[in-house]
Amino acid sequence: MESENTCPVEGLLKMLSGKWKPQIFRIALNGSIRFNTLLRQIEGSNKQSIAVALKELEEFGLLEKKVIKLKPLHIEYNLTEKGKSLIPVFQQLEHLV
């Protein structure tokens, strides 16, 4: 159980910490993303690490997984409302660097 005194910034950093999660989140800012697109766009990534990062972003409620029942099956990831609420934070961070 988290302490009542936990800093909200610590929580955000925990949600987005990891090698690939910030990049996945940044790509998701532009709209729906697919797994293979992430593999192509994130240099040095691999299937296992992208899958783990996507699952963690889903568990934190920042991304939602949508299964499109076509042949072959398509899976897209989109920002949730919680994820979209972080867009201004990312925009502010871009101004700092």
Q: Kindly report the CATH number assigned to the domain that includes residue 12.
A: 1.10.10.10
Give the chain's domain count. 1
In a domain, 69, yes or no: yes
- Residue 1 pLDDT greater than 50, yes or no: no
- Residue 97 pLDDT greater than 60, yes or no: yes
- At residue 93, the pLDDT reads 79
- Residue 5 pLDDT greater than 80, yes or no: no
Supply the range of the domain harboring residue 65: 8-96
Strand partners, 85: none
- At residue 3, the pLDDT reads 53
Token pair, residue 42, equals 């994130």
CA–CA gap between residue 41 and residue 70 (Å, rounded): 24
pLDDT digits (tens, 9 = 90+) for 31-81: 999 999 999 999 999 999 999 999 999 999 999 999 988 888 889 999 999
pTM for the whole structure: 0.83
In a domain, 58, yes or no: yes
